[in-house]
Amino acid sequence: MMKHNEGQHRHRRLVRPLTLIASVALALSACGAPSAAPPGQTGSPGASGGAGGAKVTIGIGGQTLLTYLPTTLAQELGYYQEEGVNVELQDLQGGSKALTAMIGGSTNVTSGYYEHTIQMQAKNQSVKAFVDMGRSSGLALLVAPKNEGKIKSIADLKGKNVGVTSPGSSTDMFIKFLLAKNGLQQTDAAVSAIGAGSSAVAAMEQGQVDAAVMLEPDVSVLSKRIGHDLPVLEDVRTAEGLKEVFETDAWPSSSLYAKADWLEQNKETAGKLAKAIKRTLEFIDGHSGEEIAAKMPEKFAGGDKALYAKVIAELKETLSKDGTFTEEGVKAVLKTQRVANPEIGDKDIKLEDTYTNEFVK
């Protein structure tokens, strides 16, 4: 548990755009542009997945977020098509929305956060992640400009309204975890959906929320728009912050997951998807931020290609190198869920049923 005086000390840190990001996964959303691409549209017309191979629809929990970059980049590089899968990407603008779409049958696979597989097991639904992309959620809890000097600690969020991408998403779980960790009830602060990208920046700038769980480059864009750095209450964008908040060096985040019965019935297709993502992770590791940005849909840069390339360069060091999950990482996520999610609590969770490395070869 974090001591109160430690939290008081931490709130005085300011968000320094792009300078503190070191060794955990970031997420990048296009600002000054639509916060999400239209469903099924990922960039150039020629990168639609091709006509051959098994048809798979992947719902993404916020396509412009860089935490999900490998999912889109694999399409832009043509890797799905080369592996023999006809992939359609749908931007569902929030992890919980993407999960709901898959459970409802409108998508086959979700590009979302691993923690959802644990949540679904608690509801007696078998969902399994089969390739890992990120090692941290890369989130930061920021004070809105209108509350600078007023909100100085997690305790000060009592009775306040905190922005998250969507209720039930990882941003929501993050604030609930922090409230519980600091001795508050999870209902002590309300949450509001503000999405990501331009909508999240606008919500903070216009004072629609008192604080928000945000992602890069939204943090940097907001700081630039208001003309100064913003106070940060908690931050897991650095290895130090990740260790401090979650007490771990690995916290699996973005992944591909599907219903267990779909995986069982479509092993060959799942293997092709996993291989395409693994190849993409290798491409990211071997290329510069500028080279990677050049492969992505131009609109994802939000009009600032230099910023987009710079944050991608920082992201390179934070992604999985091989797409595999680690036992330490999945245990850390479960620990977080037991604190943040009352639906998990002390339920018996079989972690071996929430993920697999069998398709990452």
Q: Three-state SS for 145?
A: helix
Name the helix (H) or strand (E) containing 361: none
In this structure, of 39-48, 105-114, 119-128, 326-335, the range with the lowest mean pLDDT score is 39-48
Kindly report, residue by residue over 190-243, the tens digit of the pLDDT.
999 998 888 999 999 999 999 999 987 788 778 878 988 899 999 987 778 888
Where do you find CATH 3.40.190.10 in the chain?
A: 4-24+138-246, 45-136+251-353
The alpha carbons of the chain give a radius of gyration, in whole angstroms, of: 19
Give percent of the chain above pLDDT 90. Answer: 63
In this structure, of 11-25, 70-84, 113-127, 297-311, the range with the lowest mean pLDDT score is 11-25
Determine contact, residues 166/96, Cβ cutoff 8 Å.
Answer: yes
Helices 218-226 & 198-205 angle (0-180, nearest 10): 40
| pTM (predicted TM-score) | 0.82
Determine contact, residues 86/56, Cβ cutoff 8 Å.
Answer: yes
pLDDT recorded at residue 34: 31
pLDDT recorded at residue 111: 97
Average pLDDT of span 255-259: 98
pLDDT recorded at residue 109: 98
pLDDT recorded at residue 86: 98
CB burial string 187-202: b at 16+ within 10 A, e below: ebbebebbbbbbbbbb
CATH number of 45-136+251-353: 3.40.190.10
Before 217, cis peptide (omega within 30)? Answer: yes
Please determine, looking at this structure, whether the domain spanning 4-24+138-246 carries the CATH number 3.90.180.10. Answer: no
pLDDT recorded at residue 52: 63
Determine contact, residues 40/90, Cβ cutoff 8 Å.
Answer: yes
pLDDT band per the 50, 70, 90 thresholds, residue 19: very low
